[in-house]
Structure 1
Amino acid sequence: MTRAKDIMHEGAQWITRDETLTRAAQVMQMLDVGALPVSDDNGRMCGIITDRDIVVKCLAQGGNPDRATAGDLCEGTPRWIDANAEVEDVLHEMESHKIRRLPVIENKRLVGMISEADVARHLPDNQVAEFAGMIYSTAK
């Protein structure tokens, strides 16, 4: 059985909700990633922000990334998956919520992220095609 930890990208990091968007962008650049989980004051995940969020929800609206924080952009219920979850559960979580990146948690600690690229790299073509169809479909 393939598990979440088998297909995830290791070394994921998160930032705290009070970090500025400038700092978030710097961390993304340093890690060469496009998304970061965001933690609250208790060290629990409270959301995820993407490079696109920073551009569309801050910069394009005239916001100041040196003043706006990661917490300002967090919306909705954060989604994640246990490191030992089966890959079918990973796909279901991503497909049902139409998300392209999924934090992987083990023993209450962030241990990795699963992205579309990870799915494409590790799964058979038929699963990748079905996944892409579900993620990108506009039907609700």
Structure 2
Amino acid sequence: MPTAREIMTPGAECVGAEDSVLDAARKLTDLGVGAVPICGTDDKLKGVLTDRDIVVKVLGRGKDPAQTKAGELAQGEAVTIGADDGTEEILATMTQHKVRRLPVIDGHRLVGMVALADVARSLPDAKAGDLLEALSTD
């Protein structure tokens, strides 16, 4: 089975916890991605900000994206996967935490992101279908 390092998108760029959600949205647009890791001034991963978070937690609640900090949307400790963890561990982590994207960590350093699509491409169809079903149910 392939490892996270083999299937991830390398070079993930963080948005700062003190950056505005508006700046984060611009970064998502510029990078052409649906999620970006949130990093603190200590260079530690604080969470992941998704385009859906911006719509539901900021715009949908009438908050000003220029005044709301990205770090305000980080919830608890970030769910991550190790760079050398295999697809079974990725599947288990995504399923357990109901997430479609995982930051990939090598030691304490962010080295990339693994998305549901990356995992699906590396798995037999049946396992990919099981993951999608698990993430699509409440």
Length-normalised TM-score, structure 2: 0.94
1:10 aligns with 2:10: yes
How many corresponding residue pairs? 138
Q: 1:5 Cα shift?
A: 0.9
1:20 maps to 20
Letter of the 1:83 counterpart:
A
Q: 1:107 Cα shift?
A: 3.3
- Cα distance in 1 for residues equivalent to 2:120 and 2:87: 12
Equivalences for 1:37-116 in 2 at 5 Å?
Answer: 37-116=37-116
Q: 1:126 Cα shift?
A: 1.2
The more displaced of 107-116 and 62-71 is 107-116
Length-normalised TM-score, structure 1: 0.93
Q: 1:41 Cα shift?
A: 2.2
Q: Deviations over 1:37-57 (max 9, x none)?
A: 111221111111111111111
- Cα distance in 1 for residues equivalent to 2:134 and 2:99: 10
Give structure 2 stretches of 5+ with no counterpart.
Answer: none
Q: 1:107 to 1:77 in 2, by over 3 A?
A: closer
- Cα distance in 2 for residues equivalent to 1:88 and 1:132: 14
SS at match of 2:67: coil
Q: 1:61 Cα shift?
A: 1.4
Give structure 1 stretches of 5+ with no counterpart.
Answer: none
**Where do 4+ consecutive residues of structure 1 move more than 3 Å?**
none
Letter of the 1:88 counterpart:
E
1:135 maps to 135
Q: 1:22 Cα shift?
A: 0.8
Q: 1:23 Cα shift?
A: 0.7
1:124 aligns with 2:124: yes
SS at match of 1:112: strand
Q: 1:76 Cα shift?
A: 2.5
Letter of the 1:100 counterpart:
R
Q: 1:29 Cα shift?
A: 0.8
- Cα distance in 2 for residues equivalent to 1:47 and 1:40: 9
SS at match of 1:58: helix
